[in-house]
Amino acid sequence: MLITFLLIPILTAIVLLFIKKDTLAFQTAIAASLATLALAVFASFNKVETFDMSWLPNLNSRFTLQADGLAKILILLSSISLPAILMASNKNEYKQKNIFLSLLLFTQAGLMGVFLAGDALLFYFFWELALIPVYFLCSIWGGEKRIAITFKFFIYTFLGSLFMLIGILFVNAHTVEHSFSIQAFIQANLTDGQKITAFALFFVAFAIKMPIFPLHTWQPDTYEQSPTPVTMVMSAVMVKMGLYGILRWLLPLFPVAFAAHTNVVVFLSVVGILYASFIAIRQDDIKRLIAYSSIAHIGLMNAAIFSGTGIAIQGALIQLFSHGINVLGLWIIADIVEQQTGTRSMQQMGGLAKKQPTLAILLVGFALANIAMPLTNAFVGEFLMFNGLFILNPWIAGFAGISIVLAAIYTLNMVQKVAYGEISEKINAMPAPNKAAQLVLIILLIIVFVTGVYPQPLFTLTADTLQQLIAK
Amino acid sequence: MNAIIVSTLLGVIMMFCSWGIKIQKTQQSIALVGLFVLILSNLAQLNGWYVINFDTKGMLAFTRFGLYINSLFFIITFIYIWLNGEEIAKFNNQAADFYALFFFILCGASILTSFDNLLMLFIGIEILSIPLYILTGADKKNLFSNEAALKYFLMGSFSTGILLLGITFIYGATGSFHLVEPVLKPSTGLPAEQMILSAGLLLVFAAMNFKVSAAPFHFWTPDVYDGAPTVFTSFMATIVKAAGFIAFITIFNSQSKALGYSWALVLSFVIVSTLLVGNIVAVFQRSVKRMLAYSSIAQAGFMLFALYGKSSFAQEGIVLYAVVYSLATIGVFGVLIKMKENSFEAFNGLAKTNPLLAFVTTIFLFSLAGIPLTGGFFAKYYMLNALYAAGAGLWLIIIAILFAAISVFYYFKLVQAMYFFTGKPAMHEVPKKYTYALLLIAILLLILGVFPSLVFNYLYF
């Protein structure tokens, strides 16, 4: 069962390379992504068998795929994201669209692999494989400065993952029978000093991927220059790889070293949250605004995880999903506006509510979710996370709490500039609304409110992971 | 034994071949058939059948490891000649002469995989090197080629001299040429003899570093690789280098103990400086060929890890590394041969005009950079593992990793040129068959990227 999460995207991606007709390519891609979604929904509510196969006998590495609540919730998120992204950006013109779609599906396969891998070497494998298609996507279809910026992004994350590779090699050398399985890694025979070294090696990779201040410099540029569908994949799903890595590997493997670094990491995260929020306030480019807002949100999740309190981790587990949905909604709106007006500068927008009322309402909906208003899904997660941070240290919770105010400032400011005021020239020239994209947005917004009012399914889904993590 | 004898015979046959047979295609076919016979004869020895069998008095020792490596060398040479037949013939109507030289080189390589005596090492290195001097100067009317050949010849002879001096010192101290375990010991145990022995080993070490182009003995490499005809550079940078490494490892796996503690220090110095020079200088190259020359120095730095200490990772790793690196390098040079210019800009827009060629080049470059899903990743992984298993500090591994990240920079510059920049690459005509041959190499690399053990499983059974 779990192997199909890899097979469907990979096989479709290969087939897509040979489909030259745009519409047919799109239909194939959407069919495959919907099939994956159906599987993901099924897997979320059922128990799934671990997939295990011999892979590298000399190295004692096995092709193991396994899914617990943490994996399932992220699988679900990435399966929801891909069809949404495809539907919403179908109107966009891309040269060689079949290759574009094919690379997107390869990315999805890589992400699925990362979330499902139960073997460290396999994890590393997919970790890199998710990066390569993105490198090509951004460099071929991105904005003006794409080549240099994407390259910076690539080298940055590649270097980070190489450190993780050393970490894997290091821990592997100390396991029984040199196994790579996650259980063997947890039982690895390391001294406390060695654990701290290994912790640092793993942490660098995850910190760059998330990113945590001060390793975040690649992100805003990359988000701005990438074609928006790719930005959506990156900010809705890919940044979760870093958080996932921490929850799956770092915390269970080195609980002591983890606890020892709580203060440093939480401090960095809080600095990052405030820093990103202040910068977001100053942004005029709508894509950059969302990018910085995303850094702030991810920083909060990271701080919550590192606080080590059960309630905060529960919040982060839910927020992994919710943040993905919310940011996806914002990106889709930003993309529609950019495609239809040809600008990303918010000064040149205004009056969207009069021209396209539906879109403006949707924008307000996602904006409220972005600032974690009650009734929206983000409220549930953020409330729990702040709760946990408060238990850790009220001061930290207080400082991090400023970000809520700041988020309200920049988000509502954005809504005001885009939706209200006089109808600007560019907004006035907007063509008829993009029905397909609006439908996607409505569905996402429904998810936002349903999981905001009734988050119990998400709690149930992540219960097993939480139990294991707290046991540490 | 079989390989040494048969390759010599084949070399002689090829030499005389050019009298009767004038058609290039036929000459190539004969060479390929010859290689096939060579592979068979070598495999026959693995199963205990000898063409001629006599006692070498411990001069040569045929191990499963050595014989298996021979087969790999021959198979890679087969691919190389199959791919590059036409190109080889360009420099001379008598391509058969070159094929003869290749067989002599292979003879040298077979000695280097099986010597158990320092004299045989010397002979093997000479047999390997002398044909190379000729191949470097094969483009007779090109001044750069002439210059490269002369430079290579002078510096190569000098390094052979150093090798010989080292061997003499060792003989003086121990009274023996034999490389048997346990470690070489001074015959009288006087401190002066120990010093002479160490000096001798260090001289051999320096000479071997020269042969595998490790820094600080690398200065000939960029000039020679750049000056030599591309098709021969491709051979030099792959099989010849790998053979050098096998010899290097054979000597120092056992004898490094005679150097004691200082061995790790000396080797670490060479490793770090090789990685440093190769990677940093490659970043600034404007010609792809020169970049590949420096990258080959950088790759040598990674292969040196196998010398750090004996472990199954080192042994399996060097085999995997040699194969993967050779295939990828032959592939990249195969593409470079078809370009009219060597600069990075010459590759601009290749993905538009010839997507398949651009794709295979990307695979080769990924493999050289060690990106997962290509053989290069596991090659590098095994090497790092070997380093750790041999007890090297984590700092050395981290330095290696940092340089690996730098190497991505220059390999990807070429990927960028092909995919993201527009332009019209000036190319020689690329036959369909040629592209498919390259595609086959790329597929091999991808297979090794998922199942690396295919290469070294036969080391054991």
Secondary structure in 3-state letters for A342-391: CCCEHHHCCCHHHHCHHHHHHHHHHHHHHCCCCCCHHHHHHHHHHHHHHH
**Residue whose entry in the numeric block shows the structure tokens 């021969």:** B232
Q: CA B248, B253, B256, B261 torsion: positive or negative?
A: positive
Confidence of residue B197 (pLDDT cuts 50, 70, 90): confident
Interface of B with A in 424-443 (CB under 8 A): none
How many beta-carbon pairs below 8 A join chains A and B? Answer: 64
Tell me whether residue A291 is in a domain: yes
For the stretch B321-370, pLDDT in tens is: 999 999 999 999 999 998 888 888 888 888 888 889 999 999 999 999 99
For the stretch B291-300, pLDDT in tens is: 999 999 999 9
Contact A170 B394 (CB under 8 A): yes
Buried b (16+ CB within 10 A) or exposed e, B244-266: bbbbbbbbbbbbbebbeeebbee
Tell me whether residue A305 is in a domain: yes
Q: Is the pLDDT of residue B273 over 90?
A: yes
Q: Are A196 and A231 in contact (CB under 8 A)?
A: no
Which chain A residue has the Cα nearest residue B396? A166
At B186 the pLDDT is 63
For the stretch B71-111, pLDDT in tens is: 999 999 999 999 988 888 887 767 888 899 999 999 999 99
Contact A173 B451 (CB under 8 A): no
CA distances to A309, A347, A384, A398 from A394, in Å: 13, 39, 14, 6
Residue A358 structural domain: 261-472
Q: Determine the Cα–Cα distance for residues A120 and B323; give it in Å rounded to an integer.
A: 26
Interface of B with A in 282-341 (CB under 8 A): 316
Adjacent-strand bridge partners of A61:
A56
Which chain A residue has the Cα nearest residue B460? A58
Adjacent-strand bridge partners of A285:
A345
At A354 the pLDDT is 82
Which chain A residue has the Cα nearest residue B415? A136
pLDDT average, residue stretch B285-292: 91
Backbone angles phi, psi at A245, to 5 degrees: -55, -40
pLDDT average, residue stretch B398-410: 91
What is the count of structural domains for chain A? 1
| Chain B residues closer than 8 Å to A197 by CB | 394
Q: Determine the Cα–Cα distance for residues A344 and A339; give it in Å rounded to an integer.
A: 9
Contacts of residue A120, Cβ cutoff 8 Å, sequence gap at least 6: A61, A168, A171, A172, A180, A181, A182, A185, A249
Contact B372 A163 (CB under 8 A): no
pLDDT average, residue stretch B374-380: 91
At A26 the pLDDT is 87
pLDDT average, residue stretch B202-220: 91
> Which tokens is B42 given?
């070598």
Q: Among candidates B461, B457, B455, B460, which has minimal Cα distance to B73?
A: B455
At A470 the pLDDT is 77
For the stretch A459-468, pLDDT in tens is: 888 888 888 7
| Percentage of the residues of chain B whose pLDDT score is greater than 90 | 48
Tell me whether residue A418 is in a domain: yes
Q: Is the pLDDT of residue B63 over 70?
A: yes
- ipTM of this predicted structure: 0.89
Omega before A211 within 30 of 0, i.e. cis: yes
- Which regions in chain A score pLDDT beneath 50? none
At B38 the pLDDT is 92
At B309 the pLDDT is 79
| Chain B residues closer than 8 Å to A169 by CB | 381, 384-385, 388, 397
At A392 the pLDDT is 85
Q: How far is A136 from chain B (nearest CA, A)?
A: 8
Tell me whether residue A311 is in a domain: yes
Tell me whether residue A357 is in a domain: yes
Which chain B residue has the Cα nearest residue A174? B389
Tell me whether residue A402 is in a domain: yes
Tell me whether residue A265 is in a domain: yes
Rounded to 10°, the helix A4-16/A22-45 angle is 180
Confidence of residue B133 (pLDDT cuts 50, 70, 90): very high
Contact A151 B412 (CB under 8 A): yes
Q: Is the pLDDT of residue B419 over 60?
A: yes
For the stretch B152-191, pLDDT in tens is: 999 999 999 999 999 999 888 888 888 765 566 666 667 7
Instruction: Provide the mean pLDDT of chain B.
Output: 88
At B275 the pLDDT is 93
| Chain B residues closer than 8 Å to A140 by CB | 419-420
Q: How far is B420 from chain A (nearest CA, A)?
A: 6
Tell me whether residue A223 is in a domain: no
